[in-house]
Structure 1
């Protein structure tokens, strides 16, 4: 698996994922009247999507026909990142912020509870990363996080 970041408001950068959301949304319209009915319809969608729907990339076979479970066990929690001793390590608060030089910088609420590294780059900027994934550069004038070139989505041809 590879982590991919897309620009906010640019769903076309991840068309496969967005297309799945559209398919799911269409399958759940109109919304069922109760949670039980919603759960039943969602279970039917999952069964159809995985077990019956042919997939062009799989030679018109359903995805379940190509699935096999991994022999590797999933850890219950990610291992702690091994950041260099010179990195400033910060824990992301429940609201997605870190404290940096007396200021609160919003990173991402999805990282709440995780540790990130803040490291000075060769040109004197401060880059934030989670494990080896660059999150962005701290803009010291505005105390905000902006994307850095190395955090831009990387496209690979199919």
Structure 2
């Protein structure tokens, strides 16, 4: 009879007893139990040597590719130091920090972290794609300082119950965090002050990507604010994303997620203490954290200071002789043909240029940018460009 799967050990014991009795030829006993003579002799020898017929372990006695205890210890130490960094980044750190030229594969590191309780099993939720983003007018950075991104991360309360608004600025090519500054209020003055410091330290970018909210964008003429008009004066392109489309600034938003996990949970007791946490996080993000989009390099290994220096004073808008030029007061008004026209406070204390179109309407420029126009139906304020069509 063949071995019964659920009574394997019992059948082997019976075979040993029958073989010991020698009441019939050994070959017939093997045939009755449905095994070959070679297998029968193997079980007899095993019983004589070990007093048992249990299977030997099939696990290899040694594994030449097994991760050493020393490397496992380093992996666990790195995970404790950087609790939110995954296996790919830890694999790169084994090389960067400890000089391990052939570190374990990320999958092996993941298994080690799971075995030691650093990773818990979780069901992955597959999200349906909303469709590939089809925007062709956003600038694509090809080098450092081509496009910077700036935004305020969502506010949160500190331990003393005050509010912190973190302002972040990054270089989109290298992912280098140029600034991470916490403020008690989200104001134009605070934002401009932070930008001046960054411009002094790193020079000027070609473009800055922003959303349409204050203090970067507005619902006024051209969508600009005093801050973005200042950028234009400095020769910087203002790269607005579409309203309600934060994924168009995806790398910056992803950085905000890392910032939240590693520097605000839990929040510090005061704004000054929180700023120290931001500074420490920024250094770690730029100089220690490998970035997958950079081939596991650090942002600091790629970023280089801009060759465009920050001028002491922003140049004023200038226009050709055939333009009419007007000075805009701080209240957003300018004089025009014996009356006053409103354009918006964003252009206050600056000069605008006007040129008459072929249809008799006046086009209004801020530097090289057409921002609106004047029409006879609404003579007291500048209208958006879309009103000039048709």
Q: TM-score range by the shorter chain?
A: 0.5 to 0.7
Q: CA deviation at 1:10?
A: 0.9
TM-score between the two structures when normalised by the length of structure 2: 0.31
Per-residue Cα deviation, 1:22-47 (whole angstroms, up to 9, x for no partner):
81784557764423123223323433
Per-residue Cα deviation, 1:35-92 (whole angstroms, up to 9, x for no partner):
3123223323433443344444433323222111234432212333330123222233
User: Structure 2: how far apart are the matches of 1:124 and 1:146?
Assistant: 15
**Is the contact between residue 6 and residue 14 of structure 1 (CA under 8 Å) also seen in structure 2?**
no
Unaligned runs of 5+ in 1: 150-158
SS where residue 4 of structure 1 aligns? strand
Counterpart in the other structure of 2:333: 98
1:83–1:56 CA distance, 2 compared to 1 (3 A): farther
Unaligned runs of 5+ in 2: 1-205, 208-236
1:114–1:14 CA distance, 2 compared to 1 (3 A): farther
Structure-to-structure mapping, 1:8-157, within 5 angstroms? 10-12=243-245, 15-16=248-249, 19-20=252-253, 23=256, 26=260, 28=264, 32-95=268-331, 97-101=332-336, 102-109=339-346, 111-142=347-378, 143-148=380-385
Structure with max Cα Rg: 2
**Of 52-61 and 24-33, the range deviating more from structure 2:** 24-33
Q: CA RMSD in A?
A: 3.6
Q: How many residues align?
A: 146
User: Structure 1: how far apart are the matches of 2:376 and 2:289?
Assistant: 51
Counterpart in the other structure of 1:154: none
**Is the contact between residue 6 and residue 13 of structure 1 (CA under 8 Å) also seen in structure 2?**
no
Higher helix share: 2
TM-score between the two structures when normalised by the length of structure 1: 0.65
Counterpart in the other structure of 1:4: 238
Q: CA deviation at 1:16?
A: 1.4
User: Structure 1: how far apart are the matches of 2:266 and 2:326?
Assistant: 45
User: Structure 2: how far apart are the matches of 1:100 and 1:5?
Assistant: 31
Q: CA deviation at 1:129?
A: 1.8
User: Structure 2: how far apart are the matches of 1:121 and 1:144?
Assistant: 17
User: Structure 2: how far apart are the matches of 1:81 and 1:120?
Assistant: 19
**Is the contact between residue 355 and residue 362 of structure 2 (CA under 8 Å) also seen in structure 1?**
yes
Counterpart in the other structure of 1:152: none
